[in-house]
């Protein structure tokens, strides 16, 4: 009987929680949380080193891959000049480049590299006509405003846009374009995402995006400008970007690392540039096969 009572006392009670892992002496969850917090703070502090190289000659700050190759060459030339003129000074160094929605992203290793880049880029010469290169924070990448509108009936996107333009001559719509047409809704309507312009957005925001269309009106849902705005015809944060499958430039306070999804880190030479196999001749296909 004594042995049974002893085993019963040593065994955990039925239903009692059983520890699955023993912690090392002196270790706590607080320690691991502090380590993660320190890493997050370090990443946030370094986010300013990932900057956008924009062309102010383009409304969205974009540049083509060909123009980037020319710019890249000019920047390397500038590095050679720096190396030869100040051989004893630390060299500007980069940790990678990538693309973000058609804008070039460069990640500097340190603040002196960022300062060199900011001073060098505006002075580059021998570029294309109208080039106005600048280095800005990723959150300051220029972008054309976008709107989401629900048309009451299913109409081909471009035709719906043309009617919207014609019925609203007081709104500057000449450069508007359709970005995406959603699948028809069970109710018979259809969502369309439109790229508009700043002047039109300013006018429409004051009237909740209301525009004449068809036999009545539609409401363009616009980006909310102030958190306290009570307008119901505004977009949720990141809604259009998610619909378009675009990456969002996220504020550093959201603790994303320098290599998160908002960048495609790696040299542009690693991008797919080969033509599809269907466009190659049989001889070319054979030549691309490994030996």
Task: Tell me: pLDDT of 135 over 50.
Answer: yes
Give me the DSSP letters along 78-121. Answer: HHHHHHHHSTTSPPP-EEEEEEETTEEEEEESSHHHHHHHHHHG
Euclidean distance between CA atoms 219 and 26, whole angstroms: 61
pLDDT tens per residue, range 168-192: 999 999 989 898 899 999 988 999 9
Q: Residue 144's pLDDT is what?
A: 77
CATH 3.30.450 fits 146-242, yes or no: no
* Percent above pLDDT 70 for the chain: 68
Helix, strand, or coil (residue 38): helix
CA distances for 163 relative to 80, 91, 214, 220, angstroms: 56, 57, 7, 14
Range(s) for CATH 3.30.70 in the chain?
A: 46-140, 146-242
- Burial status of residue 191 (CB atoms within 10 A of its CB: 0-12, 13-18, 19 or more): middle
Task: Tell me: pLDDT of 250 over 60.
Answer: no
Enter the tokens of residue 141: 């990448």
The helix (H) or strand (E) run that includes residue 55 is strand 50-55
* pTM for this entry: 0.49
Q: Residue 31's pLDDT is what?
A: 58
Whether residue 152 contacts residue 64, with contact meaning beta carbons closer than 8 Å, is answered with: no
- DSSP assignment, residue 49? G
Task: Tell me: pLDDT of 149 over 70.
Answer: yes
Pick one of 2.60.40, 3.30.70, 1.10.405, 3.40.50 as the CATH number of 46-140: 3.30.70
- 145 versus 212: the higher-pLDDT residue is 212
Strand 146-151 to strand 216-223: parallel, antiparallel, or no bridges (unpaired)? antiparallel
Task: Tell me: pLDDT of 259 over 70.
Answer: no
């Amino acid at each position: 009987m004594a042995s049974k009572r002893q085993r019963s006392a040593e065994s955990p009670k039925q239903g009692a929680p059983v520890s699955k892992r023993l912690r090392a002496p002196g270790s706590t969850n607080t320690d691991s949380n502090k380590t993660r917090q320190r890493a997050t703070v370090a990443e946030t502090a370094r986010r300013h080193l990932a900057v956008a190289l924009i062309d102010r000659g383009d409304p969205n700050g974009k540049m083509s891959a060909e123009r980037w190759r020319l710019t890249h060459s000019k920047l390397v030339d500038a590095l050679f000049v720096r190396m030869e003129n100040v051989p004893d000074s630390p060299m500007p160094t980069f940790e990678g480049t990538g693309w973000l929605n058609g804008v070039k992203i460069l990640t500097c290793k340190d603040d002196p590299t960022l300062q060199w880049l900011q001073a060098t880029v505006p002075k580059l010469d021998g570029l294309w006509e109208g080039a106005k290169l600048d280095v800005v924070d990723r959150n300051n990448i220029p972008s054309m405003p976008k709107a989401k509108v629900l048309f009451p009936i299913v109409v081909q996107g471009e035709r719906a846009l043309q009617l919207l333009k014609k019925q609203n001559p007081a709104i500057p719509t000449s450069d508007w374009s359709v970005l995406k047409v959603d699948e028809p809704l069970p109710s018979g309507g259809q969502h369309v995402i439109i790229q508009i312009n700043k002047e039109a957005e300013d006018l429409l925001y004051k009237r909740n995006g209301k525009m004449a269309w068809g036999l009545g009106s539609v409401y363009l849902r616009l980006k909310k400008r102030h958190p306290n705005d009570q307008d119901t015809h505004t977009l949720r944060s990141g809604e259009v970007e998610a619909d378009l499958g675009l990456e969002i430039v996220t504020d550093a306070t959201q603790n994303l690392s320098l290599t998160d999804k908002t960048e495609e880190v790696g040299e542009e030479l690693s991008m797919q540039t080969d033509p599809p196999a269907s466009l190659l001749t049989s001889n070319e296909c054979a030549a691309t096969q490994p030996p």
